[in-house]
Amino acid sequence: MIDKMKKTAIVGATGIVGQQFLTALKGHPWLKITTLAASIKSAGKNYEDALRDPKTQALRWYINEEPPAEFLKMKVEDASNLDPSKFDVIFTAIESDQAKKLEPKLAVKTAVISTASAFRYESDVPIIIPGINSDHISLLDIQRKKRGWDGFIIPIPNCTTTGLAISLKPINDSFGLRNVIMTSMQAVSGAGRSPGVPSLDITDNIIPFIPNEEEKIQDETKKILGVKEGNNIKEADFNISSTCTRVNVLEGHTESVFVSTKEKCTIKGIKEAMEQYTGTLMDKGLPSAPKKWIVVNEDPFRPQPRLDRNAYGGMATTIGRIRTDNVLKNGVKYLLVTHNTKMGAAKGAVMVAELLINRGYI
């Protein structure tokens, strides 16, 4: 039980992920939104007015839930002038170029939990998925000391990395990973609202390239599944190759995964490892943590994003079509669906904050 509600700011509150933060934090038992912040063009407006299209006055709300009424009349502040000392935690939902400049200014004084990639690959910055690599959190002590900050920056992974890393964790623990090959079919919401994906490009089509996405997944997955040694993370020692595509789905990333294990495995053993995976002990009692991290579905026509993205509140990864692969040594293949803007973004970031509170970092 925490001693008091943590004062919380959302930077980038008008975007898709910012909107997801509002729905994720509505009625949260530990975190209270006290400030919404965005770019200068939204600053000074009520949140509701900042969401309106300047030409049509339509409310640009992209989440499949009603906007939380308690935030609509809050005045939006200019993110560049935010005083970090007023908050216990700041969530940022901004582009990486903006994050690179703004997040260090905020982290001087307080905890910054970021959905951007700007700092993911620096040696003193952990990429945390609670339940998967929570022990990496102690790297924050090194980050604070090295940079002279009272706060810190902790980014969540790329939304496509999240489901992949979760699915690979029990396999790696039980059998060891040798090679991983993944092809993603990613929802359009993962591209954000602006610039986003033009409707005439994605309708009746598949976009076969997402800039920088494949490199992010390859680097992040090995870091997340690595081992903390001294002041650094030693990357996991498997090979990974990915192809990332954009498909005409609103929410929920689908991934086709091929795995070669170090030790001989069976389909039964893989399923049991996934179904029995319960996360790490320090993640018990987090309000946003799912009751099951992985749902194994035996229906050969599952998982599907429309049917499975909201499993356990959008926080569980659903896996299906687990079968033997006859090309790879000790090969197994499967498909997964994960919610890219819930577990893969806002709600996943909120769960990181809960872990940090639980461990005394906030």
Instruction: Please give the Cα distance from 166 to 239 (Å, whole number).
Output: 17
Instruction: Please give the Cα distance from 88 to 347 (Å, whole number).
Output: 18
- What residues contact residue 291 under an 8 Å CB cut-off, 6+ apart? 312
Asked if 119 and 39 count as a contact pair (C-beta separation under 8 A), the reply is no
**Nearest partner of 74 among 9, 171, 154, 148, judged by Cα:** 9
Burial of 65 per CB tally in 10 Å (0-12, 13-18, 19+)? exposed
Under DSSP, the state recorded for 283 is G
Q: Which of 136, 253, 265, 339 is catalytic?
A: 253
Is 265 catalytic? The answer is no
- What residues contact residue 161 under an 8 Å CB cut-off, 6+ apart? 216, 217, 220, 221, 224
Give the DSSP H or E segment for 155: strand 152-155
Q: Which two tokens stand for residue 268?
A: 């039964």
What is the DSSP pairing of strand 177-186 with strand 239-246? parallel
Hey, which residues are catalytic here?
Answer: 159, 253
